[in-house]
Amino acid sequence: MSRGDLILIEGLEIATVIGIYDWERDIQQRIRLDIEMLWDISKAAASDDIRDALDYHAITTRLLEYVESASFGLIESLAEGCAGIILNEFSVPWLRLKLSKPLPDLGMKHAAIVIERGVLPG
């Protein structure tokens, strides 16, 4: 596998209940996911067939289902859950995931974390 092939999902916004404060537990907030996934694209490029590609539509649909159907206290918990789905259900060997949560009440546009999970080849 080439170390350089990345599939990106950028700016995926999903409404969910997230936060530790009482007022946050009563509302939905829009989080943003930016995801880089290692994937060898050579087979899909040669065949031009979705069956040989990493189906980012299927990943997006699964993440929407997961995030919208649950509630989370910490962005760390949500990031780990999303990473686990991608790694385990879609056999992605490595990913970098950035999760942003708006925090205008604290004078900032977003709080965010970036995690890397999986194994880089070679």
What digits encode the pLDDT tens for the residues 78-111? 999 999 999 999 999 999 999 999 887 777 888 9
Q: Between the CA of residue 85 and those of 9, 25, 63, 105, what are the distances in Å? A: 14, 24, 8, 31
Q: Which residues contact 56 (CB under 8 A, 6 or more apart)?
A: 7, 9
Question: What is the side-by-side strand order in the sheet with 108-118?
Answer: 71-72, 6-18, 29-38, 94-103, 108-118
Mean pLDDT, range 30-40, rounded to an integer: 96
The pTM (predicted TM-score) of the whole model is: 0.91
CA nearest neighbour of 45 among 109, 83, 106, 2: 2
Indicate which residues carry an active-site annotation: 101
Q: Collapsing DSSP states into helix, strand and coil, what is residue 35?
A: strand
Amino acid 40 reads D
